[in-house]
């Protein structure tokens, strides 16, 4: 399952331009607009002045100059709310908005490490400021410090809630979960997402997708399936969610549910490579071979040019008892790539269908391609027996006896053929004896019993029998 995680730059921007920043126009005693969620700060004249000059420099494209002004101011005004500002503006601690703007400028300049230091210093001075906490989380995420970022996102959420700020607080928990996921701590990610969903905010696609993935990482496939079912109900037109649901259902051995999900997935858009083949395999597992065949035709057309696909079509049609379609698929595969194994498979299918002459011919052709294949020779002998071709059967069994693993069985078959021939000779002699009607009748019965037709299927099954689709003959 592939999860899509969007880590947004949830920056809180210090509003330091335009009418909202009234003090920048020289209105003493004004208050800085601050989207950080912190309580409004009353700024000193010195703070207003440095912010005004920094904004002016930034608007002229002099980001380095703006950064330098703010750095110098912060260095000259350490401390925070706990510091004693006294009456002297020079002793006043740098307000949170200065730290926030400094960090933003550094981050936008590609100096994420310096931005972390700026936000961190501000948060140390103003530990209850949600904006500084949030931006520090974003900067740490940028540096790959995912666990630390996740902790900060959760803290920023809690600070925002404590101040009654409903704007964006749910998204903070999602970002926290993304951080925990990237830190390879899926259990913490699940906890953050559970908190998020418990807020009562309408569930979003990304939240549920991440939750499902983290549940899987946590080994909770049952919950992952439940979440994905909720997700597909929320966003029914997204193929990847149905694909993920199919994977989870397969993992839980819910093959029927997996097939249903894959059907929806492959109908919503162009299937991925191999996806319809996978669906066909699921249908075969579910013993729905005709659906498997239809799916393979959907994927590759009625006359594929790949022998391995034709082999699968043969299997599906054979299991669906579509004999002519099965033989057509196998025949096409043999045209493209004639092999002894495919010919033996054809022979086995024809033998089970009672088409013994065609079966023997298929086995004989297999022997042309693989002269040392004793198994093909043995099976050809059984087909010849069904046709009452004792001479042909003897030749095939003699050939099979050259294979050490089959020698005992082939020699037994040869004794069986010899026994039939002996019984027939004796019966023919009795029939030829004059004046013995009773003997002639017994001889006729003995000759009928010596006919091998119909008696070899058990022997063929013993070679690996069962349904023709399940066995390579």
Task: Choose between 165 and 234: higher pLDDT.
Answer: 234
Check residue 164 and give its pLDDT: 80
Check residue 464 and give its pLDDT: 47
Distance (Å, whole) CA 398 – CA 402? 7
Confidence of residue 413 (pLDDT cuts 50, 70, 90): very high
pLDDT above 90 covers a percentage of the chain that reads 70
Task: Choose between 128 and 23: higher pLDDT.
Answer: 128
- pLDDT greater than 70 at residue 440: no
Distance (Å, whole) CA 61 – CA 374? 86
The residue with tokens 């949170």 is: 96
Domain edges within the chain: 1-143, 338-473
3-state secondary structure of 242: helix
3-state secondary structure of 290: helix
Check residue 446 and give its pLDDT: 54
Check residue 64 and give its pLDDT: 93
CATH superfamily name and code, 1-143: Tetratricopeptide repeat domain (1.25.40.10)
Confidence of residue 403 (pLDDT cuts 50, 70, 90): very high
The residue with tokens 């992952």 is: 224
Provide φ and ψ at 169, rounded to 5°: -65, -35
Query: Exposed, middle or buried by CB within 10 Å (0-12, 13-18, 19+), for 104?
Result: buried
Confidence of residue 472 (pLDDT cuts 50, 70, 90): very low
Closest CA to 115 of 128, 124, 102, 125: 102
Check residue 1 and give its pLDDT: 52
CB 459 within 8 A of CB 397: no
pLDDT, tens digit, 9 for 90 and up, residues 32-71: 233 444 445 578 888 899 999 999 998 999 999 999 999 9
Distance (Å, whole) CA 202 – CA 190? 17
Dihedral class, residue 200 (left if φ above 0, else alpha if ψ from -120 to 50, else beta): left
Confidence of residue 469 (pLDDT cuts 50, 70, 90): very low
Q: Which residues contact 425 (CB under 8 A, 6 or more apart)?
A: none
**Which of the 8 DSSP states describes residue 402?**
T
For residues 291-301, average pLDDT: 97
Average pLDDT, the chain: 84
The region of weakest confidence among 61-65, 224-228, 274-278, 449-453 is 449-453
Task: Choose between 91 and 257: higher pLDDT.
Answer: 257
- The fold for domain 338-473 equals 1.25.40
Closest CA to 317 of 306, 309, 307, 325: 325
Q: How distant, in Å, are the alpha carbons of 20, 111, 252, 308, 330 from that of 289?
A: 71, 61, 22, 17, 16
For residues 111-122, average pLDDT: 95
Residue 118 CB neighbours (<10 A) = 28
- pLDDT greater than 50 at residue 249: yes
- pLDDT greater than 60 at residue 206: yes
For residues 196-214, average pLDDT: 94
Provide φ and ψ at 314, rounded to 5°: -60, -45
Closest CA to 349 of 367, 322, 370: 322
Q: Which residues contact 35 (CB under 8 A, 6 or more apart)?
A: 12, 13, 14, 15, 131
- pLDDT greater than 90 at residue 468: no
- pLDDT greater than 60 at residue 473: no
Task: Choose between 304 and 90: higher pLDDT.
Answer: 304
Check residue 115 and give its pLDDT: 96
The region of weakest confidence among 32-46, 122-136, 386-400 is 32-46
Tokens matching residue 80: 């925070």
User: Which of 75-79, 327-331, 425-429 is modeled with the greatest confidence?
Assistant: 327-331
- pLDDT greater than 80 at residue 2: no
Closest CA to 129 of 63, 57, 39, 19: 39
CB 98 within 8 A of CB 51: yes
Residue 237 CB neighbours (<10 A) = 10
Query: Could you tell me the pTM of the whole model?
Result: 0.75
Check residue 78 and give its pLDDT: 81
DSSP E strand stretches across 105-262:
none
Closest CA to 246 of 203, 211, 274, 282: 282
The region of weakest confidence among 7-11, 92-96, 199-203, 436-440 is 7-11
Residue 28 CB neighbours (<10 A) = 10
Cα torsion 182, 184, 186, 188: sign:
negative
Check residue 426 and give its pLDDT: 82
| H or E element that contains 343 | helix 340-352
Q: Which residues contact 97 (CB under 8 A, 6 or more apart)?
A: 14, 16, 32, 34, 36, 41, 43, 51
Confidence of residue 398 (pLDDT cuts 50, 70, 90): very high
Residue 354 Cα to chain centre, angstroms: 44
Closest CA to 188 of 154, 155, 145, 161: 154
């Amino acid at each position: 399952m592939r999860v899509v995680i969007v880590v947004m730059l949830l920056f809180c921007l210090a509003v330091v331009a335009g009418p909202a920043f009234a003090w920048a126009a020289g209105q003493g005693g004004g208050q800085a607009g601050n989207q950080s969620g912190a309580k409004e700060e009353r700024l000193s004249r010195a703070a207003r002045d440095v912010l005004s000059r920094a904004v002016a420099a930034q608007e002229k494209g002099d980001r380095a100059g703006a950064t330098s002004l703010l750095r110098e101011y912060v260095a000259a005004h350490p401390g925070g709310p706990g510091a004693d500002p006294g009456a002297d503006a020079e002793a006043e601690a740098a307000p949170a908005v200065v730290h926030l703007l400094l960090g933003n400028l550094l981050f936008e300049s590609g100096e994420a490490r310096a931005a972390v230091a700026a936000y961190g210093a501000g948060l140390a001075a103003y530990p209850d400021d949600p904006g500084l906490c949030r931006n520090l989380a974003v900067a740490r995420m940028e540096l790959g410090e995912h666990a630390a970022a996740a902790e900060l996102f959760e803290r920023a959420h809690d600070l925002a809630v404590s101040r009654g700020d409903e704007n964006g607080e749910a998204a903070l928990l999602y970002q926290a979960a993304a951080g925990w996921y990237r830190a390879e701590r899926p259990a913490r990610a699940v906890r953050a997402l559970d908190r998020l969903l418990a807020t009562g905010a309408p569930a979003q696609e990304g939240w549920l997708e991440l939750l499902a993935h983290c549940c899987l990482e946590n080994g909770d496939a049952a919950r992952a399936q439940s979440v994905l079912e909720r997700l597909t109900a929320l966003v029914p037109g997204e193929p990847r969610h149905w694909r993920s649901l199919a994977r989870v259902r397969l993992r839980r051995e819910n093959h029927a549910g997996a097939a249903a999900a894959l059907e929806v997935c492959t109908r919503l858009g162009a299937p991925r490579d191999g996806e319809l083949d996978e669906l066909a395999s699921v249908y075969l597992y579910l013993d729905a071979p005709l659906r498997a065949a239809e799916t393979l035709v959907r994927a590759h057309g009625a006359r594929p040019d790949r022998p391995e696909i034709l082999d699968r079509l043969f299997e599906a049609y054979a299991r669906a008892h579509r004999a002519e379609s099965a033989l057509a698929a196998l025949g096409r595969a043999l045209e493209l790539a004639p092999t002894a194994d495919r010919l033996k498979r054809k022979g086995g299918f024809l033998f089970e269908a009672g088409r013994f002459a065609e079966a023997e011919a298929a086995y004989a052709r297999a022997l042309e391609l693989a002269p040392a294949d004793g198994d093909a020779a043995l099976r050809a002998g059984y087909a010849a027996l069904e046709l009452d071709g004792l001479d042909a059967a003897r030749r095939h069994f003699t050939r099979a006896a050259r294979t050490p693993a089959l020698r005992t069985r082939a020699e037994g078959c040869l004794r069986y053929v010899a026994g039939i021939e002996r019984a027939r000779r004796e019966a023919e002699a009795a029939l030829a004896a004059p004046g013995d009607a009773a003997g002639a009748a017994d001889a006729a019965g003995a000759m009928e019993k010596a006919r091998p037709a119909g008696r070899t299927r058990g022997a063929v099954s013993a070679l690996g029998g069962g349904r023709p689709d399940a066995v390579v003959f």
